[in-house]
A and B are shown apart, each in its own frame.
Chain A
Amino acid sequence: MNLTRRSLIGAALALPVAARAETFAGAYAPKAEPVAEGVWMVRGADAPILFDNGGMIANSAIIATDAGAVLFDPGVSLEHGKALGALAQAVTGKAVGRVYVSHLHPDHALGAAAFDPAIVHALPATRADLERDGEGFSDAMYRLLSDWMKGTHVVLPLGDVAEGEALFGGRRFRLFAMQGHSAGDLALLDEATGTLLAGDLVFHDRAPSTPHADLVKWRAALDRLTAVQHRLLLPGHGPLDRDGGAIAQTRDWLDWLEAALTQAVSDGLDMTEAGELPIPARFAGLKAARYELQRSVSHLYPGLEARLLPRL
């Protein structure tokens, strides 16, 4: 590759950020919505990461325990993580005692910077992912979010989460070590309330994103999640799911996406054409659908071509 990361960032920052800096007065104001006894959902914007939303696009969850609040996904930046920590303190009456990072993506992970690394936990695969990609994510987020990212340094989570039961502050969780959206996707079931925190394995009324996806593994993870008895499901993006529709919707999108792109390669389309494919009417309620389709073309198309176009 011809371009160093530094030159990319330097050049890219030159124009838009100068304009932004003068007007920056952003402050994160996440809101907690009670969804079950001692469980709050913090909704992200159902949008791409944009300067206008400060990158606050992923959902987080707060769970009250005797040993302090559990924060599931600490947000995109130092300030976002701090705001979520203050919110957890406000609604539970206790400071955050444990943080879980569901997977590597920056909108979920970089807010760990606001917490003592000794209380930030993730799957071993997620720690390895962030060791590899954390600095790159951080650069990309500074590029997009500039002042919102102020003071954010990559804090690696302890890679010490394993599948199974966990007891914290008198509250019992079941932890699931999965993959498919990424190489390490953590899901958490709060046993007292039957609330399932699905991370980005489940999107709801917002198109799934696929930058590190393995679609076969993702479908297997959805099978497992379906089999986990739960009353409520908190998706990584989009509104709370009370009727089990979100898992099916995520699967429906992934199935359609893979079939549509496979057909596009077989029909001789190039990437821009595949990115303009019609999106079925049943996905009309999904936010960011065209945006994610075009991103998925970028992620998946070269691999499909290598597999499906005959060797000459």
Chain B
Amino acid sequence: MIRKKILLALIATLAAPVPAAFALPADPLKSPMWEYHAERLFGGATVRFDPAVKVEIPEIAENQRVFPVTVDARALPQVKRILIFADLNPIPVAVDYAPRAAAPFLATRIKLDQRTPVRAAVLTADGVWHVSGNWIDAAGGGCSAPPVSRVKGDWADHLGEMHGAAWALGGTQTRLRVTLRHPMDTGLVENIAAYNIERVTVTSSAGTPLADLQVFGAVAEDPAFTFIVDDAKGPLTVAARDSSGLEFDGVVTPRSATLAAR
């Protein structure tokens, strides 16, 4: 059951067929699933562990259902795609991001099933995958509690409700933050079918695609995304579609106040 889910999730992001054998660098995290994922996600492409990809995560997973991950690959040129994945999650890949006219930067929140590596893989125009990440022990901690889950009986009333804001960063970039009410059901719970946001796009006022994000069930309930897009002029349109075909959208006008560049 779980294996099937892994395959389904992987197939969605697969581009290249898997060759019989190719040279993968040894995993600095020594994950039992590294080769399995790498062969399927990267095909025969060159893979490099690269500290230029910054994967920022908290020291602990306080809430396994809402674990924040920020990927910053702005030190790399010509980034085409960014994957965020957790090796030991039943749905390993959380997002597949194409920053069309946007900085190679993405923040979101994912679910964790257990102690696992959390990684970003960044594809540059030369066909090389740059990979970075770290282990996270998915346990609650300290004077506390398992996850403080918000038990919501009202999800349907708020489905697709969007909140957001945008900030001019100086220059021509805009930081955009969007949250969206959605249960993001994984299909791994008995009697609850998979039901998740599948795609989020950001478009400029002139109709230029800025950001194109594929979203999988490993993204946390009520997803939140932070983008840095290359357009600071007009309102930005955020559109999302879920796996039942429902579409949601919203328009964000950047705040005039310029923040210190991040």
Give chain B interface residues in 180-237, CB to chain A under 8 Å.
185-189, 217, 221-222, 224, 226
Q: Does B120 contact A (CB under 8 A)?
A: no
A275–B58 touching, CB < 8 Å: yes
In the bound complex, what is the Cα–Cα distance between A58 and B187 (angstroms)? 39
| Chain-B contact segment, one of A163-171, A251-259, A294-302 | A294-302
In the bound complex, what is the Cα–Cα distance between A31 and B83 (angstroms)? 51
A12–B138 touching, CB < 8 Å: yes
Q: From B260, which residue of chain A is reached at the shortest CB distance?
A: A267
Q: Does A290 contact B (CB under 8 A)?
A: yes
Q: Does A200 contact B (CB under 8 A)?
A: yes
Q: From A270, which residue of chain B is reached at the shortest CB distance?
A: B107
| Chain-B contact segment, one of A3-11, A119-127, A216-224, A225-233 | A3-11
In the bound complex, what is the Cα–Cα distance between A271 and B107 (angstroms)? 8
Q: How far is the CB of B104 from chain A (nearest CB, A)?
A: 15
In the bound complex, what is the Cα–Cα distance between A299 and B58 (angstroms)? 13
CB contact between A294 and one of B62, B111, B177, B250 (< 8 Å): that residue: B62
Query: Among the interface residues A5, A12, A14, which one has the most CB atoms of the partner chain B within 10 A?
Result: A12
Q: Does B6 contact A (CB under 8 A)?
A: no
B175–A2 touching, CB < 8 Å: no
Q: How far is the CB of B89 from chain A (nearest CB, A)?
A: 9
Q: Does A95 contact B (CB under 8 A)?
A: no
A298–B179 touching, CB < 8 Å: no
Please give, as numbers and ranges, the residues of chain A lying within 8 Å of B64 by CB-CB distance.
Answer: 3, 8
Q: Does A15 contact B (CB under 8 A)?
A: yes
B145–A137 touching, CB < 8 Å: yes
Give chain B interface residues in 128-164, CB to chain A under 8 Å.
137-146, 148-150, 161-164
Q: How far is the CB of A187 from chain B (nearest CB, A)?
A: 16
Q: How far is the CB of B45 from chain A (nearest CB, A)?
A: 28
Q: Does A139 contact B (CB under 8 A)?
A: yes
B188–A3 touching, CB < 8 Å: yes
Main secondary structure of the interface of A (DSSP, over half): helix
Query: Among the interface residues B162, B163, B175, which one has the most CB atoms of the partner chain A within 10 A?
Result: B163
In the bound complex, what is the Cα–Cα distance between A74 and B166 (angstroms)? 49
Give chain A interface residues in 262-312, CB to chain B under 8 Å.
267-268, 270-273, 275-276, 288, 290-292, 294-295, 297-299, 302, 305-306, 309-312
Q: From A300, which residue of chain B is reached at the shortest CB distance?
A: B148
CB contact between B163 and one of A137, A200, A272, A311 (< 8 Å): that residue: A311
Question: Which A residues fall within an 8 A CB radius of B?
Answer: 1-5, 7-8, 11-12, 14-16, 48-49, 57-58, 105-108, 133, 136-137, 139-140, 143-144, 200, 209, 211-212, 236-237, 267-268, 270-273, 275-276, 288, 290-292, 294-295, 297-299, 302, 305-306, 309-312
Question: Which B residues fall within an 8 A CB radius of A?
Answer: 56-60, 62-66, 68-70, 88, 90-91, 107-109, 111, 113-115, 137-146, 148-150, 161-167, 175, 177-179, 185-189, 217, 221-222, 224, 226, 238, 250-252, 259, 262
Extra contacts, 15 of them, besides A292-B142, A306-B179 (Cβ < 8 A), are A2-B90, A2-B91, A2-B217, A15-B115, A49-B141, A58-B143, A144-B139, A209-B143, A211-B62, A270-B107, A271-B107, A298-B148, A299-B148, A306-B163, A312-B162
